[in-house]
Amino acid sequence: MRSLPERPDLPRYVAPVPQRLEDLGLRYAWVVVAVNLLGTVFGFWYYGFHPLPLSDPLITGQFAIEPLSMWPLVPDSPVATLFIALAVASWKLGESREWLNALAFFGCLKLGFWTPYVLLVFKADFSYLHWAMYNFLFWSHLAMVVQGFVLYRFADFPVRAVAVALFWYGLNDIVDYFVPILGTPHHTLVPAEEISASGVIHTSPAHEYAAAGAVVLTLLATFLSLATRVKKGETGAVESNCG
């Protein structure tokens, strides 16, 4: 059984999760991987990939209204849960990769906070959701944040790895809100915006509120990953292998 990595003495703002909960997640790492892979499958279904039920079109929802070439940039949350699953699995197999850890950290913080943010900001527009689905989306995404804050136990966040994550999630912000490249902006649909025969109508100020949250969270993830690097360095906890 792989031993748990040491817990360095870091400030609460970069390590807010109680050690007992951190240790539990790391001890049951394969359960964490499985849950996140299930989340990834559900997320792709939520965005419109519907192999089941058979009565549905295979491609529906947001996937059906987005250009095929932009699909890799559309399902933000399921890609984030895939990143965390791969990061934890890689660590468990003794092949931890810093670029993957950084992607997982950014994804968990950004999407873990952004989804509850829009659920609250546009709460009245989400009234079509059953209360159980609303709460599931809210709390499951906050659980992603908790996962992200456990990664520092085996991740060092070197600058090059942070640059990879910042490039990916910065690119997402650009095409989601500012320069869509093809069609209209590609951010996750929020019900405060309208869908017409010609595509999504990005209503103001709903579009700006969603964009502001995403950009602020990208900046927050950048700051916290680099702050974790610095604080781990100050305690001598940064490993020489930066992967």
One-letter amino acid identity for 28?
A: Y
Structural domain range at position 118: 19-229
Higher pLDDT, 219 or 192: 219
Number of domains in the chain: 1
| All residues at 6 or more sequence positions from 145 whose CB lies less than 8 Å from its CB, including other chains | 108, 109, 112, 113
Tell me the one-letter amino acid at 61: G
Q: Between helices 19-27 and 29-47, what is the axis angle to 10°?
A: 80
Q: Exposed/middle/buried for 60, CB within 10 Å: 0-12, 13-18, 19+?
A: middle
Looking at residue 118, its amino acid is V
Instruction: Give the lowest-confidence range in 2-6, 57-61, 105-109, 174-178.
Output: 2-6
Closest to 140 (Cα-Cα) out of 39, 61, 59, 4: 39
135 part of a folded domain: yes
Residue 14 lies in a domain: no
Kindly indicate the confidence band of residue 241, based on its pLDDT and cuts at 50, 70 and 90: very low
Q: Answer whether residue 210 is part of any domain.
A: yes
Does residue 8 lie within any of the structural domains? no
Residue type, 215: V
What pLDDT score does 174 carry?
A: 96
Q: Please indicate, yes or no, if residue 123 is contained in any of the structural domains.
A: yes
Give percent of the chain above pLDDT 70.
Answer: 96
DSSP 3-state of 13: coil
Describe the crossing of helices 29-47 and 76-92 by its angle, rounded to 10 degrees. Answer: 160
User: Strand locations in the chain, DSSP E?
Assistant: 194-196, 199-201
Of 55, 45, 151, 172, residue with least CA distance to 102: 151
What is d(CA 6, CA 105) in angstroms, rounded to the nearest whole number?
19
Domain assignment present for 37 = yes
Does pLDDT of 240 surpass 80?
no
> Contact at 8 Å (CB) between 44 and 78?
yes
Distance CA 83, CA 90 (A): 10
The gap from C-alpha 98 to its chain's centroid, in whole angstroms, comes to 16
pLDDT tens digit string along 164-203?
A: 999 999 999 999 999 988 888 999 988 888 877 667 888 8
Q: Is residue 41 situated within a structural domain? A: yes
User: Considering the domain boundaries, does residue 127 fall inside one?
Assistant: yes
Region of 185 (left: φ > 0; alpha: ψ -120 to 50; beta: rest) is: beta
